[in-house]
Amino acid sequence: MHIPDGFLTLPVAAATGVAAATAVGYAARRAGREMGESAVPVLGVSAAFIFAAQMLNFPVLAGTSGHFVGGLLACLVVGPWNGVVVMTAIVLLQALLMGDGGLTALGANVLNMAVVGGLLPWLLVRALGGSVRHTRTSYLAVAGVAAWLAVVLASATCAVELAVSGTAPLGAVLPAMVLVHSVIGIGEGLLTVGILGVLLSSRPELLRGYPPPLSLSPSPAGFRKRAWGVAVTGLVVAVLLAVFVAPWASSQPDGLERVAETQAFTDRATDQVAAQTPLFDYQFPLLGDTPWSTSAAGAMGTVVLFGLVVLLGRALGRRASPDGAEIGHDGT
Amino acid sequence: MDGDRRLPADPLDPRARLIALLGFVVVVVATPPRAAWPFLAYALVPAFFIGYERVSPRALARRLLFLGPLLLTVVGTRLLWFLLQHDSGQPTLQNEVWLLAVLGMRSGLAVLAVAAFMGHGDINRLAQGLRGLGVPAILTGVMEQAYRYWRLLWRELGLLRDAAGARGFRPRHLGDTVTLGRLTGSLLLRSLQRAERVHHAMLGRGFAGTFPTSHPLRWSRYDALFLLPALILPAAICAASHLVE
């Protein structure tokens, strides 16, 4: 997944570079503040471990193999900001001394492997790990799924970067990358579960943020915070699905359209009202009839729907409790 | 990568190496894909430094191999897309092959440049150079430590796999990955314990968050002699490629 030099145009390289530099700059400040002078040796040896583990190939399908990425594992073991620093150090080392991954693509590679492949799935583990009833099995299951998602999201981001640069057509490279990495992601998930299982059995205190904060009778503030955590994580996943998956949905007629065709009442359908809506036929008005237009329409629709559901929920909550007390404070 | 060897380029300031590398790569990526001659001309620059620093062909080949997976993915997807779109008046196969050749030349030249300018790079000097260019000290410190310990951990992982192999474990399918994960997990456990010991040892030697360096960064005439051909020649080739249609 390391993008070499020449695969990204300079504007894409600059944009991803600025985004990665901002994330890494913030992470470096937080890492130094949280761990003090012990940060360098602990993070250094952890980085060496991830670096060595990245060279570990595991069997995938029909004689092919994948390799470990470890972005999520780094965030779970040393903490999210330290994890970003660890992954950035690895990517930098690989680019400058091994020639694996380009220098102009450094920002994109850091963004894909440290931020999208580490920080984002860590947020998912944090949100879900604290929301489901906490057991060792549920923690490992959530971590395994998040590790799979980390690889798939990172590969999708990589495909989008290549497509925006004109290196490969999005319609071909996105499905190819996501399909291959969906299988490789299973290996990443299983490896992560295996590694975390050993840590949980022997020294669970080494896992930062474990167990995730959860009490069986949560406080009102804690309940609200976790509920928002789940909602925002769900929103992020839904927007990502809308952006990356929606444009490739089947163009075949759905069940109702098929029945309408066979029963010959398709022509009764009119688009006169629907055509006046801003996102008619899942197209964003300014972007024309392109996959990007569908992505933008999908993302906008998801966010608007999320906002409407939140407003509706608040309104219903107030009506059910006219004295202003909110429902669910006792967690029931 | 043999940091101990005294090589002719040792007096160079590490910042000069990094600036030369970044400058060269940016110029190569910015060159329009109109003709092959600028890319062939660029190759002379890293070729000279590779010869001068005596980088082994094996090390070069190993680095070029890293390009394989993504290059193959891009070649496969572009050619597949070309076949699917061919009837609708899309670019010719010749254009596709030329664009893929440009991708290969650009990425190959960048890998050669890493070998040429960082060839026998000393990790401590490299980290010092990065700090000199504004990279956060915690990041370069982690990089140095990672470089020091990764070979050791890789060897230990090999020993663990050998021991599991001796007990009959051969990973054949995806389901075996959990067992592989447990093996790796025991190495992580040892690594974290090692990190604690390393930290205590470093504190004992007076470590306070930064690594001391014996050679302070200082620009010299060697840097100018190095940067002139490493930067001006590619810039001139790039300018000529823009002018010559």
**Domain identity same for A83 and A187:** yes
**Domain identity same for A176 and A232:** no
Q: What is the pTM of this model?
A: 0.75
**Domain identity same for B235 and B142:** no
Question: Which has more pLDDT, A23 or B192?
Answer: A23
For residue A325, what pLDDT is reported?
A: 45
Residue B147 belongs to domain spanning? 136-204
The total number of structural domains in chain B stands at 2
pLDDT higher than 50, residue B184: yes
Q: Which residues of chain A carry a pLDDT beneath 50? A: 214-217, 255, 324-332
Please say which residue of A179, A214, A249 terminates a domain: A214
A4, part of any domain: no
For residue A250, what pLDDT is reported?
A: 54
Chain A hits for B29, CB-CB cut-off 8 Å, are 5-6, 8-10, 13, 104
Instruction: Provide mean pLDDT across the span B25-35.
Output: 89
For residue B9, what pLDDT is reported?
A: 45
CA distances from B134 to A174, B212, B223 (A): 35, 17, 19
For residue B8, what pLDDT is reported?
A: 43
B26, part of any domain: yes
Residue A317 belongs to domain spanning? 218-332
For residue A129, what pLDDT is reported?
A: 66
Confidence of residue B163 (pLDDT cuts 50, 70, 90): confident
Chain A hits for B67, CB-CB cut-off 8 Å, are 4
Alpha-carbon gap: A209 to the closest alpha carbon of chain B (Å): 16
Question: Which has more pLDDT, B48 or A223?
Answer: B48
B221, part of any domain: yes
Beta bridge partners, A67, equal: A57
Instruction: Provide mean pLDDT across the span B134-141.
Output: 88
Confidence of residue B225 (pLDDT cuts 50, 70, 90): confident
pLDDT higher than 50, residue B5: no
The total number of structural domains in chain A stands at 2
**Domain identity same for B113 and B226:** yes
A176, part of any domain: yes
3-state secondary structure of A282: helix
**Domain identity same for B140 and B124:** no
Q: Which of B118, B150, B187 is the best residue to mutate to test the A interface, defined by the most A CB atoms within 10 Å of its own CB?
A: B150
**Domain identity same for A205 and A66:** yes
**Domain identity same for B124 and B141:** no
Chain A hits for B91, CB-CB cut-off 8 Å, are none
Instruction: Provide mean pLDDT across the span B239-243.
Output: 85
Highest mean pLDDT among B36-40, B46-50, B96-100: B36-40
For residue B161, what pLDDT is reported?
A: 82
User: Two tokens at A315?
Assistant: 């309104």
**Domain identity same for B68 and B160:** no
Confidence of residue B92 (pLDDT cuts 50, 70, 90): confident
Render A24-78 in DSSP notation, one character per residue.
HHHHHHHHHHHHGGGHHHHHHHHHHHHHHHHT-EEE-STT-EEE---HHHHHHHH
**Domain identity same for B42 and B95:** yes
Q: Quick: pLDDT tens for A79-114.
A: 899 999 999 999 999 898 887 888 999 999 999 999
**The pairing of beta strand A57-59 with beta strand A65-67:** antiparallel
For residue A151, what pLDDT is reported?
A: 94
**Domain identity same for A163 and A21:** yes
Pick left, alpha or beta for residue A331 (phi over 0 → left; psi -120 to 50 → alpha; otherwise beta).
Answer: left
Alpha-carbon gap: A56 to the closest alpha carbon of chain B (Å): 9
pLDDT higher than 80, residue B201: yes
Backbone angles phi, psi at A27, to 5 degrees: -60, -40
Query: Within the 119-148 window of chain B, which residues sit less than 8 Å (CB to CB) from chain A?
Result: 121, 123, 126, 130, 136, 138-148
Please say which residue of A214, A232, A248 terminates a domain: A214
**Domain identity same for A95 and A194:** yes
Chain A hits for B184, CB-CB cut-off 8 Å, are 53, 56, 68, 191, 194-195
For residue A115, what pLDDT is reported?
A: 94
Q: Please answer yes or no on whether B123 and A193 come within 8 Å at the CB atom.
A: no
Please say which residue of A181, A197, A214 terminates a domain: A214
Question: Sign of the C-alpha dihedral, residues B24, B30, B32, B33?
Answer: positive
**Domain identity same for A175 and A222:** no
Beta bridge partners, A57, equal: A67
Q: Tell whether ipTM is more than 0.90.
A: no
